[in-house]
Amino acid sequence: MDNSLTLKAGTFGGFALSVIPNLTSADVLKTIVLAFIGAVVSFGVTLLLKHLTSKKK
């Protein structure tokens, strides 16, 4: 079972070292913009559903 941790660490390290050099600032910026848009849309849909499902007093 000790090899399991070593295997996981090695796999993660290899993955990280193969992905990090291929990231560009444009990719990071695009990810930030898409995450922001997704959060705003999610918040808006939540408010809309809350409004539609609330009982009128």
User: Which residues 6+ apart lie within 8 Å of 32 measured at CB?
Assistant: none
Longest dimension (CA), the chain: 62
Q: What pLDDT does residue 49 have?
A: 93
Three-state SS annotation for the chain: CHHHHHHHHHHHHHHHHHHHHHCCHHHHHHHHHHHHHHHHHHHHHHHHHHHHHCCCC
Stretches in the chain below the pLDDT threshold 50: 1
